[in-house]
């Protein structure tokens, strides 16, 4: 049990209420991670706030104008106030599937389930874990992962996390580590979760690496392993390097082997810059399943939605539907992605001035909102120094792991941010 949960339980153990808690209730706590550190940064980081995964411009959230305009449009009352169906607004589900095929050409003729709408990526992953993870099941994922996975999978499902280093000695994706991790899973079922672009490192495999991952997963399926392969595509579309794989791994595994169930969790949050909408999707595919089998999984997922949320926001879904079916949306979306890409390029350029410093060593990054450093000194001490001495907010995610959200820093400030990061690290280390 996490020490934070134990501390909270200490206030309850001498009362009758403690015995009323479920096992889940006793394990639950608020992690002192990204959200808490971001709150500290909001209060103190008057200079740079590179903490949370949002795209900001002049300290305000970026947005696509055509989406904002929908709030003042003549939307029908039924598009705003009515309950949405359990699986989501049907035209939106169909539009998202068309959009998915367009962004992933290998899925053009693939037999896929109709996406189920859920309340953000966190909810998508929570629903999938409820359907496919039992207590004690193994979940394979890289060692550097989004901290909310702990609440979702360790505390929420009591899964056994089997991790491997994200990178190999050459700075590429650690396919060998993934192979060993899958091989170490006892029993016939293995659940694998890969998040690209990765939070916190901002890395997406190259096309060659993506194919190697797919081939490796198939090889384990051929040996009899039943594999649930979950693609956390929260940052899909934010690809900046030329050699990066620009299709979801879902595209390589949807029909790869009868023993593989491919699950795609994605959403509009990052790519369409609608963080507060909380609209995400779950899509299934497997060589072993036809139309009826895929629909059965959809029905089970809808049941899980009904048993937790009932249904998701009607207005957010309908605004999103109008936006993604607007012919002008692609150009507007590209403008936003291009702004993040310029920040990425400026950050990489600024790092060139510090290539010989060992106080901070950048992990490989080529996509998404973030990058991360391996710190020579204690990362939390460095975070505190940056916050208190330089009014700069960053995120500590481990003893020697510091995450930077360059997406939330204006272009003109990127070079200064990098200077401050190294100045503080050199002073402390």
pLDDT digits (tens, 9 = 90+) for 174-191: 999 999 999 999 999 999
Does residue 333 contact residue 108 with C-beta atoms inside 8 Å?
A: no
- What CATH number corresponds to the domain at position 317? 3.40.640.10
Q: How many helices (H) and strands (E) does the chain have?
A: 16, 15
According to DSSP, the β-strands at 189-195 and 138-142 are parallel
Within this chain, do residues 273 and 422 fall inside the same structural domain, yes or no?
Answer: no
State whether 262 and 230 are in the same domain. Answer: yes
Contacts of 168 by beta carbon, 8 Å cutoff, 6+ apart: 174, 175, 176, 177
Strand 280-285 with 395-398, pairing: unpaired
In DSSP notation, 101-122 reads HHHSGGGTT---PPPEEESHHH
The tens digit of pLDDT for each residue in 294-307 reads 999 999 998 888 88
Which of 82-86, 92-96, 210-214, 344-348 has the weakest average pLDDT?
82-86
Question: Do 243 and 363 share a domain, yes or no?
Answer: no
Higher pLDDT, 55 or 268: 268
| Domain limit, last residue, from 265, 292, 324 | 324
Q: Which percentage of the chain shows pLDDT scores above 90?
A: 61
Query: Residue 196 has what DSSP assignment?
Result: S
The DSSP string of 203-251 is ---BHHHHHHHHHHHHHHHHTT-EEEEEEE-TTTT-B-STTB--S-THH
Rounded Cα distance between 246 and 224, Å, is 30
The whole-chain average pLDDT of the chain stands at: 89
Q: Is residue 7 in some structural domain?
A: no
- Looking at the fold, whether 140 and 178 belong to one and the same domain comes out as yes
At residue 42 the predicted structure's pLDDT band, cuts being 50, 70 and 90, is confident
* 141: in domain: yes
103 and 179 in a single domain? The answer is: yes
The enclosing domain of 389 has a CATH number of: 3.90.1150.10
Phi, psi of 223 (to 5 degrees): -85, 0
What's this model's pTM, rounded to 2 decimal places? Answer: 0.90
How many domains are contained in the chain? 2
The arithmetic mean of pLDDT across residues 265-272, rounded, is: 89
Is the pLDDT at 208 greater than 90? The verdict is: yes
Q: What are φ and ψ of residue 247, in 5° steps? A: -115, 155
Q: Is 31 left (phi over 0), alpha (psi -120 to 50) or beta?
A: beta
Q: Which residues of 368-390 are buried (b: 16+ CB within 10 A; e: fewer)?
A: bbbbbbebbbebbebbbbbbeeb
Closest CA to 281 of 308, 297, 293, 263: 263
pLDDT at 350 over 90: yes
The reply to whether 295 and 409 lie within a common domain is no
Does 74 fall in a domain?
no
Chosen domain end from 262, 291, 324: 324
**Cβ proximity of 194 and 212 under 8 Å:** no
> Which H/E stretch holds residue 284?
strand 280-285
Least confident span in 184-188, 315-319, 401-405? 315-319
Give yes or no for a cis peptide into 198 (omega within 30° of 0): no
Nearest CA among 148, 231, 219, 202 for reference residue 362: 202
Per-residue pLDDT tens over the stretch 3-30: 777 887 787 787 756 775 667 667 776 6
Same domain, 107 and 187: yes
Domain of residue 348, residue span: 31-62+331-428
> Would you say 152 and 125 are in contact if contact means Cβ atoms under 8 Å apart?
yes
Residue 2 within a domain: no
**Token digits for 242?**
């030329």
Which residues, at least 6 apart from 6, have a Cβ–Cβ distance to it below 8 Å?
A: none
The last residue of a domain, from among 324, 341, 373 = 324
113 and 252 in a single domain? The answer is: yes
Residue 4 belongs to some domain of the structure: no
Where does 133-174 have alpha helices with state H?
148-149
* Tokens 């995964």 sit on residue: 53
- The yes-or-no verdict on residue 105 having pLDDT over 90 is yes
């Amino acid at each position: 049990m996490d020490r934070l949960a134990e501390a909270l339980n200490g206030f309850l153990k001498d009362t009758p209420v403690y015995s009323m808690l479920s096992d889940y209730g006793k394990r639950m706590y608020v992690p002192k991670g990204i959200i808490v550190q971001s709150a500290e940064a909001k209060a103190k980081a008057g200079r740079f706030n590179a903490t949370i995964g949002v795209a900001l411009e002049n300290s305000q959230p970026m947005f696509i104008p055509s989406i904002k305009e929908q709030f003042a449009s003549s939307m029908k009352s039924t598009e705003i106030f009515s309950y949405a169906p359990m699986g989501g607004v049907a035209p939106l589900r169909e539009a998202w599937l068309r959009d998915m095929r367009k962004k992933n050409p290998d899925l053009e003729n693939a037999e896929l389930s109709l996406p189920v709408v859920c309340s953000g990526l966190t909810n998508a992953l929570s629903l999938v874990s409820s359907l496919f993870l039992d207590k004690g099941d193994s979940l394979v994922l890289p060692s550097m992962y989004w901290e909310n996975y702990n609440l979702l999978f360790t505390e929420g499902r009591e899964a056994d996390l089997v991790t491997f280093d994200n990178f190999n000695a050459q700075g590429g994706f650690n396919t060998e580590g993934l192979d060993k991790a899958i091989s170490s899973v006892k029993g016939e079922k293995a659940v694998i979760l890969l998040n690209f672009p990765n939070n916190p490192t901002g890395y997406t495999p190259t096309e060659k690496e993506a194919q190697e991952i797919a081939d490796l997963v198939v090889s384990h399926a051929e040996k009899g392993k039943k594999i649930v392969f979950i693609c956390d595509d929260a940052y899909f579309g934010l690809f900046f390097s030329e050699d990066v794989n620009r299709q979801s791994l879902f595209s390589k595994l949807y029909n790869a082997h009868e023993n593989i169930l491919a699950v795609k969790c994605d959403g509009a949050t990052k790519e369409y810059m609608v963080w507060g909408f909380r609209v995400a999707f779950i899509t299934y595919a497997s060589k072993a399943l036809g139309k009826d089998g895929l629909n059965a999984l959809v029905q089970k997922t809808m049941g899980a939605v009904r048993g937790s949320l009932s249904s998701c926001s009607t207005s957010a879904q309908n605004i999103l539907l109008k936006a993604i079916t607007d012919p002008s949306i692609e150009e507007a979306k590209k403008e936003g992605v291009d702004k993040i890409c310029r920040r990425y390029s400026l950050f990489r350029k600024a790092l060139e001035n510090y290539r010989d410093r060992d106080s901070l060593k950048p992990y490989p990054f080529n996509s998404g909102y973030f990058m991360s450093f391996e710190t020579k000194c204690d990362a939390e001490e460095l975070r505190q120094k940056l916050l208190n001495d330089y009014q700069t907010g960053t995120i500590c995610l481990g003893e020697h792991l510091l995450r930077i959200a360059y997406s939330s820093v204006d272009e003109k400030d990127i070079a200064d941010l990098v200077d401050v990061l190294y100045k503080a690290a050199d002073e402390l280390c």
